Structure 1
Amino acid sequence: MKKNIIVQFLILLILVAIFITTISLYNLRTVSIKSSVSNAEAISEVIKNGLDLHIDNPNMDEFLKSISSIKNIKSLWLARSSNINTQFGNLTFKNPKDDIDKKVLRTGITEYKITEALIHTDVRVSVPYKTTTTCIRCHQSKIGETLGVISVVLDVSTLKEIGIKSIYIIFLIVFISVAGIFLLSKKVFNPYLSLYTKLTENINQAKVGKFENIDIPEGLTTEVVQVTEDYNNLITIFKDTSLDIDTKLQGFVGYRDKSTQNTNPLNESKNIIDNLSNLYQFKKQVELDNTKGEIYTRIAQVFENKFNLKNFTFFEIDIKKQKMQKIISVGESLYCHDSIKDNPHLCRAARTKSDVISIDFHESCPYFNKKNKFYYCLNIDIVENLYLIVHFVTDTKEELEEIKNKSLFINRFLKEARPAVEVKLLMQALEESAFKDGLTQLYNRKFLDEHLKKLLPQIKRDKKKIGLLMLDMDHFKAVNDEYGHDVGDKVLKELSKILEENVRESDILVRYGGEEFMVLLIGVDTEENALAIAHKIGAKVRENEIDVYAGTIIKKTVSIGLSMYPDDSNLFDTVIKNADIALYEAKSSGRDKVVRFSKEHKTSVELF
């Protein structure tokens, strides 16, 4: 930059010198022409006066020759007008020599012509000779009328030589002046140019987060030195303040994008504040979400829209119950699902309570079965024994590294959502405690009453069926009487376990009261399928051995009544009553059997 300024200043000085020289040349030429014209006019005046005095003198030609011999006069001639030829005939005056003479005779205005060569320069001047009071004594003309032309050709080469010498002197003076000005200005401007260069470098360094003070050059004015010192003080304050802000804000977010290293700390702080604002807004939104599912969906949207993640899965693992539930899946990611879905304890992230990442040369997780993919698993401890595993999959190592860089910030979103998820789980637990039986952990009658309000309209819309099984433990009172209520409770728990193992997750299990249970087979196709399930449950109960105490084993049986909705009735209360009637028929006809409700059963009960 410094060189550019010097070159530009030098070019400016040269242009000024050229301009001055050009103006001098122009002025010199103009002066030469004017001087030549003035000389020609002076000579013409001498000739005019001579003509007035010697017009009748026979030595007139000698007079003209004497004037022609004057230095720098190359030629001299006189031209007469047509009036003179008419009046006096052929005199000393000649006819017009060329068009210039004719023009001057016609217009009465002085004309000149410049003929320039490499060395010599001539100026031809034609001056009109006009009638005066003296002339009218002899000539028949009016005062002011052009009688003739006096033409003189002057050699102005001497003036040209003088002018060229003057130009050399002027150019030399200008060159010396320019050089002097340049050297003087360079010495004066150098400290300012140096300051400008340092200031430019300092600002460029500041753009990438490097704040340095400027060394003040010598030769600056007091005012400039003071401004530079103020700038250094400002940079020092800015550096300390911006770095302090950046460090403290970094502690809130816990994330720095490595691609933004060596950037202005203020820009980085702005990004961090934006991230904090996003976190705050996210936290407020998840606090207003109604369910845990809505919270997880919102987190997934953040991962897609903010972090540009394309393949990930959320799943919960309950270590105590050994259950795994896939909640949200985006793209293709959970390649280990088949290996761990029935054995959640195999999940390394849940078992070690730490993140699991793809590693070169060996696999950190042996159950990820996609060799050309890379993975990153985050573990979030939601509540005791319940973990949220966020499983990311990438196609390249670069994408994996990007997730690593963002993992702290991703964790901040998950941690901000964790209290809201925990609240939803507690609310869910409270609801389940109100809707579940404390002994068997099956749903109770209160849940059934509430759930049927949503379930039955959906069954009608989908035109599906519900198979209702009403179960009752045979001779249950005898167990309590003989072994005590604790053994009776154990028998009921065993029955609930058998029910959970032999129905689908979509089916509903209810402890209806005492030793009486209800199974709602949702969407069962036919009553034959419902009867098959009922017989399967009866067989499992019959085969089950219950260890009472000290090696004492007992076996129990159940009686089951079946009614179909809406085949038997469009009113579910009636279906419940029908299943209860069928159960009564099973117990009264010998127990340990399954009875399908029929209208005959209803009639016999009513008669009884």
Structure 2
Amino acid sequence: MNLNRKVTLLFVALAASILIALVIISLYAFRSFALNSSTAHVKTAAEIVRVHLTEAMINGTINKREQFLERLMEVQGLSMARVIRSPLVSQQFGEGLQREMVADRIETQVLQDGQPRFSIIDEIGEPVFRGTIPYIASSRGTPNCLQCHRVQEGDVLGAVTIELLLSGLRKHAMTSVIGIMITVAVFSLLAITLARRLVLPVGDTATEIGEVVQRALKGQFKARVTQRTTDDVGMIAAHVNRLLEYLDHGLSSIVERVAQLTGRMPSGIDNQLETTIDMVNSLADAATFKITIEEDETKAEIYERFGQLLTKRFGICEYSLYETRDTGHLQVIKINGDENQNCLWCNPQILIRSEHCRARRAGHVVDGLTQEHICAAFVADAQGGEVRQHYCVPIIQSGVVGAVVQLVTTQTIAPCLALQVPYILMFIREMAPVLEAKRLTETLRESSLQDVMTGLHNRRFLEEYVETLVATAKRRHTVLAILLLDLDYFKMVNDTHGHDAGDAVLKGVAELLKQNVRSSDLVIRFGGEEFLILLPDTNGEMAVKVAEKIRLAVEQYKFRIAGGELKKTISVGVALFPEDSETFWQTLKYADVALYRAKETGRNRVLRFAPEMWHDENDGY
């Protein structure tokens, strides 16, 4: 119910209430007036009858009182007048006229107690006011009742009953009440009409404001409120219109700017306000996401966080993350949130020949949601069931595709994914520079932890990695074998054949070491011609075998140098952590002691550390 109807109903209710109250008051007033007036008339008529009867008795014309009563009945409104004698008068003067002889119940009560009685009775559907007035004997006044009647002071001599017709009064009362009702109704209608003329603009303006606000809540700010008056209501309408215009202009500007950032312009059927709020919130969330991943240590953490974002925020459980390696090949990072899977939604050939990946080759978005079969490498039925569609986004780093994000969905929910894509792209755009920074950081870090000439890890790497290595061994209760290796008479190579030949020998030794250990083992150039090999989960016997294998491989290898070939030998010292010592660096010293003893006892040999090798002169190691 709008304001106009409420106000109209309020005024109608007030007018009806006033009208009903006036009718009730008028009817009550007329009734009271009729009773009082009838009572006065009856008393007056009764007094006239009493006076006439008294005068008739004094003048000796009492026998003509019947004619008097008949003439009295001709008075307008009177319907009956009769006189009732009391038993005291009948005893003194005998029975009177017929109409004076019969007393009804009310008259009998009046004769007994001398109190007048008044009442309204209904005679043949017409209201009649009846009054019965007693005649009281009194010695006061003229004439003196006790002079003629043998009664006591205050005795009842008789009663006069007068009946008045009330139809005329009732008709007059109804006419008056109807007149009042008509007058009040007319004035009420005039008041309601005037009030509506004053209130209608308020109600209509309020209704329109409500409608435009509802439209505004749906993102529509083009509607305007009609300015009907120049008063405060009109000013409110004008202010609302200016506000809507300001919001429309401001929101349109915000939408354009946000659309530039998100790549999505709201359609005509979108709620412009909700869509803008959603996009702004997404921009804020993307900025927060960027701040969060900037604090992550590695790219792996960033990919993990992005995968959780796809699953928890966007409900995408099927996706692939690929990264471009330095060789140009693609490497699987995640498939459906799992790090230990091969290609699922793409032909595995893309890992060998990355140009088979259209996103990697073209360097722009591949929209398989709107263009089916756009990429020949996509496997739409990899898991059976409903055929899948894809949306691939390349992440550009340093001008080339550094990674590829592949979103996978069924045809049924592909339209939902299409709506989410602009928001996902915001997070990808925020993630791209952070991945690039992490890649550069990892490259710099790897270069600082790598020996430039041999490509092996350097001593700095050992210093950073040793705590992790030791903690792993302690947690798993395993043995870590330490092999310290040193080329025999390496200084002669540099002195005889030059430093180029020495570098070639070191590179060759590095390759031999890598070829003769496991992928989980660590080979480190410890300094100069010294190398360090760490063998996790390896006991003393196996460590010695590995060391002997390496010694033999070096002994049999022919190093190619300028002007010919060269053969070299190597000495190895072996120690075990934590068998030989509870600390890693002390164990390393024991390996060095074993290496020194191997050098001292003839070189080109492998020696396992024994406690007797340690003596006071080794404290300098």
Q: TM-score, normalised by structure 2?
A: 0.71
C-alpha displacement of 1:8: 3.3
Q: Report SS of the residue matched to 1:320.
A: coil
Is 2:262–2:425's contact at 8 Å kept on the other side of the alignment? no
Residue 459 of structure 1 is matched in structure 2 by 473
Quote the Cα distance in structure 2 between the aligned partners of 1:424 and 1:191: 66
- Asked if residue 211 in structure 1 is aligned to residue 212 in structure 2, the reply is no
Structure 2 regions of 5+ residues with no counterpart? Answer: none
Quote the Cα distance in structure 2 between the aligned partners of 1:439 and 1:101: 148
1:120-149: CA deviations, max 9, x gaps? 333333445455534455364556x76655
- Asked if residue 433 in structure 1 is aligned to residue 452 in structure 2, the reply is no
Counterpart residue type for residue 381 of structure 1: I
Q: TM-score, normalised by structure 1?
A: 0.72
Is 1:312–1:390's contact at 8 Å kept on the other side of the alignment? yes
Quote the Cα distance in structure 1 between the aligned partners of 2:496 and 2:528: 17
Counterpart residue type for residue 48 of structure 1: R
**1:67 alignment partner, one of 72, 84, 98:** 72
Give the direction of change, closer, same or farther, for the CA distance of 1:563–1:210 in structure 2 (3 Å limit).
same
C-alpha displacement of 1:428: 3.6
Residue correspondences, number? 591
1:350-376: CA deviations, max 9, x gaps? 454344555375474525723446654
- Asked if residue 48 in structure 1 is aligned to residue 50 in structure 2, the reply is yes
Counterpart residue type for residue 122 of structure 1: V
Q: Report SS of the residue matched to 2:445.
A: helix
1:18-76: CA deviations, max 9, x gaps? 53566555555554444433433332232232343346724444544443454443444
**2:122 alignment partner, one of 91, 115, 136:** 115
Give the direction of change, closer, same or farther, for the CA distance of 1:483–1:386 in structure 2 (3 Å limit).
farther
Q: Report SS of the residue matched to 2:122.
A: strand
Moved more, 176-185 or 564-573: 176-185
Moved more, 202-211 or 531-540: 531-540
Residue 394 of structure 2 is matched in structure 1 by 379
User: 1:499-514 maps to which residues of 2 (within 5 A)?
Assistant: 506-514=520-528
Q: Report SS of the residue matched to 2:396.
A: strand
1:83-104: CA deviations, max 9, x gaps? 7789888666557623586379
- Asked if residue 98 in structure 1 is aligned to residue 105 in structure 2, the reply is yes
Is 1:110–1:128's contact at 8 Å kept on the other side of the alignment? no
Is 2:390–2:408's contact at 8 Å kept on the other side of the alignment? yes
**1:262 alignment partner, one of 271, 277, 280:** 271
C-alpha displacement of 1:206: 3.1
Quote the Cα distance in structure 1 between the aligned partners of 2:489 and 2:131: 154
Quote the Cα distance in structure 1 between the aligned partners of 2:405 and 2:577: 41
Give the direction of change, closer, same or farther, for the CA distance of 1:260–1:566 in structure 2 (3 Å limit).
farther
Counterpart residue type for residue 317 of structure 1: T
C-alpha displacement of 1:573: 1.4
- Asked if residue 239 in structure 1 is aligned to residue 254 in structure 2, the reply is no
Structure 1 regions of 5+ residues with no counterpart? Answer: none
Q: Report SS of the residue matched to 2:220.
A: coil
Give the direction of change, closer, same or farther, for the CA distance of 1:520–1:331 in structure 2 (3 Å limit).
closer
Residue 521 of structure 1 is matched in structure 2 by 535
Quote the Cα distance in structure 2 between the aligned partners of 1:596 and 1:259: 82
Is 2:392–2:407's contact at 8 Å kept on the other side of the alignment? yes
Residue 591 of structure 2 is matched in structure 1 by 576
**1:597 alignment partner, one of 602, 605, 608:** 608
Residue 157 of structure 1 is matched in structure 2 by 167
Is 1:81–1:95's contact at 8 Å kept on the other side of the alignment? no
Quote the Cα distance in structure 2 between the aligned partners of 1:573 and 1:530: 14
Counterpart residue type for residue 40 of structure 1: V
C-alpha displacement of 1:314: 5.6
Counterpart residue type for residue 115 of structure 1: D
Give the direction of change, closer, same or farther, for the CA distance of 1:72–1:498 in structure 2 (3 Å limit).
farther
C-alpha displacement of 1:16: 6.3
Tell me how large the CA RMSD over aligned residues is.
5.5
Is 1:356–1:378's contact at 8 Å kept on the other side of the alignment? yes
**2:327 alignment partner, one of 315, 320, 334:** 320
Quote the Cα distance in structure 1 between the aligned partners of 2:399 and 2:491: 38
Counterpart residue type for residue 256 of structure 2: T
Is 2:363–2:400's contact at 8 Å kept on the other side of the alignment? no
Quote the Cα distance in structure 2 between the aligned partners of 1:521 and 1:11: 100
Quote the Cα distance in structure 1 between the aligned partners of 2:593 and 2:289: 52
1:452-506: CA deviations, max 9, x gaps? 2342244123211223345677998999899986676567556656766776654
User: 1:82-481 maps to which residues of 2 (within 5 A)?
Assistant: 97-98=104-105, 102=109, 106=113, 108=115, 110-115=117-122, 120-132=126-138, 133=140, 134-135=144-145, 137=147, 138=149, 140-142=151-153, 149-164=159-174, 195=205, 197-207=207-217, 208-216=219-227, 220=229, 228-229=237-238, 231-248=240-257, 250-251=259-260, 261-264=270-273, 274=281, 277-278=284-285, 281-288=288-295, 316-320=323-327, 322=329, 324=331, 326=333, 330=337, 336=343, 340=348, 343=352, 345=354, 349-356=359-366, 358-359=368-369, 361-362=372-373, 364=375, 365-367=377-379, 369-371=382-384, 372=386, 376-382=391-397, 387-392=402-407, 397-398=412-413, 401-470=415-484
1:234-287: CA deviations, max 9, x gaps? 5434433443344345545666787993344xx766666655555555555555
Q: Report SS of the residue matched to 2:481.
A: strand
Q: Report SS of the residue matched to 1:447.
A: helix
Counterpart residue type for residue 383 of structure 2: K
Quote the Cα distance in structure 2 between the aligned partners of 1:331 and 1:47: 124
Is 1:333–1:392's contact at 8 Å kept on the other side of the alignment? no
Give the direction of change, closer, same or farther, for the CA distance of 1:213–1:560 in structure 2 (3 Å limit).
same
Percent of aligned positions that are identical: 24
